[in-house]
Amino acid sequence: MKFIIVTGGVISGLGKGITTSSIAKLMQAKGLNVIIIKIDPYINYDAGTMNPYQHGEVFVLDDGAEVDLDLGNYERFLDISLKGENNITTGKIYLSVIEKERKGEYLGKTVQIIPHVTDEIVERIKTIGRNYDLTVIEIGGTVGDIESMPFLESMRQLRRELGDENVLFVHTTLVPIIDVVGEQKTKPTQHSVRELRSLGIQPDIIVGRCRVPLTNETKEKISSFCDVPLNAVISAPDAKRSIYEVPVMFEEQKLDEYIDKKLKLNRGSPNLNSWKEFLSNLYTPESDVTIAIVGKYVNLKDSYLSHMESFIHVSSHLRVKVNIKWVDSELYETGKEDLSNVDGIVIPGGFGQRGTEGKILAAKYARENKIPFLGICLGFQMAVVEFSRNVLGYRDANSTEFIPDTKHPVIDLMEEQRNIDKYGGTMRLGAQKVIIKENSISYSLYNKTVIYERHRHRYEVNPKYIEEMERAGMIFTGVDETGIRMEIFELKNHPFYIGTQFHPEFKSRPLNPSRMHLGLVKAAMEYKRSKIR
C-alpha cells in the first residue's frame, strides 16, 4: 500500500485536481495500478443536491454516485471508471460514525473526532488502497480550513502508521507575480507550508502554480525555506494549450523519478507515447467548426465541463478545432443572442424551468434549419416538447417538471418516481443499459446494439405519445431494456438531429471520445462544407 496525498494552500481553485490527476497519470504510465480518492470536506453527503453554481457540474459515475467534477478529471486522465467510494465527504464519514454509534458499536465510549472520525477516514482509505499499487488522495479545500482538519489529521496518522516509504505528501501552492518586473513571490508558499507543518505534516514535494515557469531562484528559495530538496520543487505554469499537457510537464522535471525513489517503487521510465500523440493531434487541427452550447449556467463554464472535455477529445480524434459559442438560453429567448453562425448546437442537461423556453426555441431553430443538433437529458426532453408543440400541434405540450397540470404532458414522471419524497440520490442514476436499433445513426456511431451510458434524471418521454411522434418523424432508436423508456431519438429528414436521455459526456475519454459528440462534430463539419459550397 503506497499513498500520495495532495493538499493545497494559499487559495482554492489552484488546479489541484489537475495536479492530482497528472501525478497519478505519470505514475500509471510507469506501469503501476493507480487509483485516486477525492476528499471533499463539506457536510453534504454527496454533490447531488448542489447547484452547479456552487462547485460546477455534478459528475455521475457508473454506480450512480453523484460526485465532484474532479472525479471526471481523474477518470479522463487515467482512463478508468471510479466508484462512489472514491469520493469521501464529511457527510459520508459522519453519517456512518453516527450510525455505528446508534448500533452501539463504540461500546459505551464517548464518540470523538479523534480517534473515531479519523479512524473511520483512515479505514476507508486503506480499504481502497489495499487493491492498488498506488493510491493518490486529493484533499479538497485549503490547508487551514476548519472543515479539512480531521482529514489532515487522519493523513498525518496514516503516515505515522505506514512510514515515510509508503506515504508521501505533495503540497500545491500559488506563486503570484504582482509587480511589472515579474518577480515571483514565495512568501504565500512559505506561510502555507508553515500552516501545514503546524498540523504535523512536512510536505515532501511542493508544486508551485504560477502564470509562468518557476525560475531557479524561486525554486531555490522554496527549497530552502520550506525544507524540501531542490528537485522536489516542481513548476506548474498555466497550461496554455491544454490541461492534458501537465503530466508531460511533470515528466520533464523528473517528478516520477523523485517519487519512485521516495516510495521505493523501482519502476522504469513512464510511457506517455499515446498521450503525447493525442496532444500533437490536438495541436495540429486541419479545419474548425463552431458549436453552440445553449444553457442557463453558461456564466460558469465548469457547469458544462464534461461537454467541453468531450469536444477536446473529439477535436484530437478528428483533427478539427471545435470553437464553443456559449449561448445563454434566457437571452436567446428574448432575442439577445443568435445562432445564425454556428455549425452545430448542443442543449445540455439541466433542472428547473428558467431558460427552458429558450432551449425549445433553439431546438426548433436547429430542426427547421437542418443544423446538426444534440440534445442531452433536459435538452432531449425540450426537443421532444418542441416537436410536440410545433409538429404535432399540441401548443401547450410541456414537461410536468415545469407545468404539473399541462394538458399534454409529453415529458412526465414514471410511476416509480411519483412516490419519492427525498431529494438526495433518488433520481434514475448511473450506467443503464440502452438497446440501439440497427439502421440508425446511433448504431453507426456506436457500432453496437447494447451500450451502457450514465444517467441522471427523473422525467421521461410519456409512452402515450410515442406512436404519434414516430409517425410524424421523430424515431426512438434507443430504448431501455423494458422498451418503455425512450433513450435516443433521431429525426427523419434531418442530417443529424439526435437527443439522448443519457449523458454521453460522462464517459468521454481522451483516446475514446463520446460517440455522440463525435457524431455531432462530424455532421457539423459536413454542414459547414455545404454552407461554403
Distance CA 380, CA 373 (A): 10
To ligand GLN, the closest distance from the beta carbon of 415 in angstroms equals 15
To ligand GLN, the closest distance from the beta carbon of 516 in angstroms equals 14
C-alpha 223: how far from chain center: 34
Span 392-421, contacts to ligand GLN by CB under 6 A: 401
Amino acid identity, position 420: I
> Contact with ligand GLN (CB under 6 A): which of 275, 365, 459, 465?
459
Query: Measured in Å, how far apart are the chain's first and last C-alpha atoms?
Result: 61
Q: Which of 138, 377, 401, 455 is catalytic?
A: 377
Residue closer to ligand GLN (CB basis): 158 or 461: 461
- 503 catalytically annotated: yes
Q: Which of 313, 408, 455, 503 is catalytic?
A: 503
Residue closer to ligand GLN (CB basis): 68 or 256: 68
To ligand GLN, the closest distance from the beta carbon of 349 in angstroms equals 3
Span 322-351, contacts to ligand GLN by CB under 6 A: 349-351
> Contact with ligand GLN (CB under 6 A): which of 236, 279, 298, 378?
378
Please give the size of the binding site for ligand GLN, defined by CB under 6 A.
Answer: 10
Nearest to 463 by CA among 421, 396, 417, 413: 413
Does residue 499 belong to the site contacting ligand GLN (CB under 6 A)? no
To ligand GLN, the closest distance from the beta carbon of 424 in angstroms equals 14
DSSP letter, residue 232: G
Residue closer to ligand GLN (CB basis): 13 or 352: 352
- 505 catalytically annotated: yes
Alpha-carbon dihedral 119, 122, 126, 127, rounded to 10 degrees = 60
Residue closer to ligand GLN (CB basis): 330 or 401: 401
Alpha-carbon dihedral 247, 253, 256, 257, rounded to 10 degrees = 160
Is residue 36 within 8 Å of 82, Cβ to Cβ? yes
Q: Which of 307, 313, 505, 517 is catalytic?
A: 505
Cβ-based burial of 238 (10 A; exposed 0-12, middle 13-18, buried ≥19): exposed
Distances (CA, A) of 498 to 21, 222, 304: 33, 53, 19
To ligand GLN, the closest distance from the beta carbon of 471 in angstroms equals 25
Residue closer to ligand GLN (CB basis): 377 or 397: 377
Kind and range of the H or E run holding 171: strand 167-174
To ligand GLN, the closest distance from the beta carbon of 379 in angstroms equals 7
Does residue 528 belong to the site contacting ligand GLN (CB under 6 A)? no
Amino acid identity, position 81: S
Segment contacting ligand GLN by CB under 6 A, of 81-89, 210-218, 443-451, 454-462: 454-462
To ligand GLN, the closest distance from the beta carbon of 282 in angstroms equals 28
Distance CA 170, CA 289 (A): 40
- Written as nine digits, the cell of 317 is 480524434
Buried b (16+ CB within 10 A) or exposed e, 426-464: ebbbbbbebbbeeebbbbebbeeeebebbbbbbbbbbee
> Contact with ligand GLN (CB under 6 A): which of 267, 443, 458, 475?
458
Does residue 4 belong to the site contacting ligand GLN (CB under 6 A)? no
> Contact with ligand GLN (CB under 6 A): which of 457, 485, 509, 528?
457
To ligand GLN, the closest distance from the beta carbon of 350 in angstroms equals 5
Q: Which residues pair with 28 in a beta bridge?
A: none
> Contact with ligand GLN (CB under 6 A): which of 456, 494, 507, 515?
456
Indicate if the alpha-carbon torsion angle 111, 115, 118, 123 is positive or negative.
negative
Segment contacting ligand GLN by CB under 6 A, of 69-77, 126-134, 165-173, 450-458: 450-458
Site of grid cell 504565500: 188
CA angle at residue 258 from 132 to 33, to 5 degrees? 15
Segment contacting ligand GLN by CB under 6 A, of 44-52, 236-244, 457-465, 468-476: 457-465
Binding stretches for ligand GLN (CB under 6 A)? 349-351, 377-378, 401, 456-459
- Write out the catalytic residue numbers: 377, 503, 505
